[in-house]
Homo-oligomer: A and B are copies of this chain.
């Protein structure tokens, strides 16, 4: 849980454009925006940096501050809450893209028993050992951002055989009526135009899909 004050500060930095790149921000300017003293603003910035929500580069005449990926995630979680408050309507998002070949990574991960169990228990089907990779079109990349992290289930990482396996997040979806789910690693950066879909069967076979076929992925968000 992120502290309320930290979130407030982070949001203000984001409003100043901190998500798009480093911005000049003095303790005083932040203090003015938040109606707090520059001393407190300074401390808030230090706290945010300690939690890795922002990175700072100090200059003699001030500092440049940028919101990190971590910080943006925290803000998106908050945003998702507000979306849930004000848009209780079952919004159905549709992502469109073309089937592409993956690097076989998905197959590897889905063959690990621990992941298989975890995904199975939270999705209600035993995942086929392999993923369908889809390259989203430009509009769908935007839509996907709106998915935020509402409805995503977190699968924690684990250690086995002297190797650490990172966490992942998953959200249920449907392709041509088939129940499946979008999976992505939690921590590492992932290209925003690619999604990986798992299902209880081999979608390529069942739906007769080939590379470059256009398909729609429906997220009912329920």
Contacts and interface: CB of A to CB of B under 8 A. Distances in A.
Contacts of A142: 89
A63 to B, nearest CB: 21
A181 interface: no
Contacts of A75: 82, 85-86
Interface in A109-136: none
Interface residues of A, number: 27
B81 A76 contact: no
Q: Is the interface of A mostly helix, strand, loop or mixed?
A: helix
Nearest to A90: B142
B85 A35 contact: no
A85 B1 contact: no
Given A11-B82, A75-B82, 5 more contacts: A5-B5, A15-B84, A15-B85, A19-B85, A79-B82
23 contacts: A1-B34, A4-B4, A4-B5, A4-B8, A7-B8, A11-B81, A11-B82, A11-B85, A14-B85, A15-B81, A15-B84, A15-B85, A75-B82, A75-B85, A75-B86, A76-B86, A79-B82, A79-B83, A79-B85, A79-B86, A86-B148, A87-B146, A89-B142
